[in-house]
Amino acid sequence: MNDARASMGLPSLIRDSRLDAVARTRAEDLARRNYFAHVGPDGASAFTELQARGIVYRLAGENLARNNFPADRTVAVAFEGLMASAGHRANILEPAFRYVGVAVLRVGKTWLYVTVFVDALVGDGGLEPPTPSL
């Protein structure tokens, strides 16, 4: 992803373990409940998972990919597919996104990829924690 961003003059995304955990939870949910969509049967999404974990952002996105290519080709094929999709490419190349989390899960012969992007994280100097209301 960062090579694609660099080729467009964009800064590299910073990998964040909190976002990795969101992506992993999403991947496990997709696999466990056997669906492939940005919104689960119960309405759960990357956005509800971010909120549940107290991750504050202004802009967020999620990319999903899956394939059954051999291990030595699966990542490249998944990335090529994402870059060929206007919406997924837009997430990868979104100038506002600064942080990323990635999860890869193999279910049988299928590789599942979830990528979560956000523009800022509380405590990084970009956003202040929300003020609790009384």
For 83-105, how does the pLDDT look when each residue is reduced to its tens digit (9 = 90+)? 999 999 999 999 999 999 999 99
Contacts by residues 87-92 (CB-CB < 8 Å, ≥ 24 positions apart): 88/63, 91/61, 91/62, 91/63, 91/115, 91/117, 92/1, 92/4, 92/5, 92/63
Q: Supply the DSSP symbol for 96.
A: T
Alpha carbon of 64 to those of 16, 23, 134: distances in Å?
18, 10, 39
Q: What is the pLDDT of residues 8-61, one digit of tens each?
A: 999 999 999 999 999 999 999 999 999 999 999 999 999 999 999 999 999 999
Write down the pLDDT at residue 123: 58
Three-state secondary structure of 31-43? HHCCCCCCECCCC
